[in-house]
Amino acid sequence: MPVKGQVIFEFTPVGAYVKVAAIHVDSGIEVTIVGDPSRSQAALEQTAMKKLEMVMSRHEKGDRRGGLVV
């Protein structure tokens, strides 16, 4: 299921990897991944987007495991 609305990506280098956060602006749902900094920005964004889609799908079904909405 594609995410509707704006998504903000934040990249934070941490040692030998990069942490990528994807935040859905309308809902405030945020997911993070860690990846290889040699991967392209597009590849890292795609991975984070897939995780965001999975989490948002769970939220729509009422399954809120693995995190809190504050």
The boundaries of the domain holding residue 35 are: 7-60
pLDDT of residue 59: 84
Which helix (H) or strand (E) segment holds residue 22: the answer is: strand 17-24
pLDDT in tens, 33-61: 999 999 999 999 999 999 999 999 988 88
With respect to residue 22, please indicate whether it lies within any of the assigned structural domains. yes
| 30 falls within a domain | yes
* pLDDT tens by residue, 10-38: 999 999 999 999 999 999 999 999 999 99
Within-domain flag for 42:
yes
Number of folded domains that form the chain: 1
Please tell me the distance from the alpha carbon of residue 67 to that of residue 44, in angstroms, as a whole number: 21
> Does residue 68 have a pLDDT over 60?
no
What pLDDT does 6 receive?
A: 96
**What sign has the CA pseudo-torsion 60, 62, 63, 69?**
positive
**Residue 69 domain-assigned?**
no
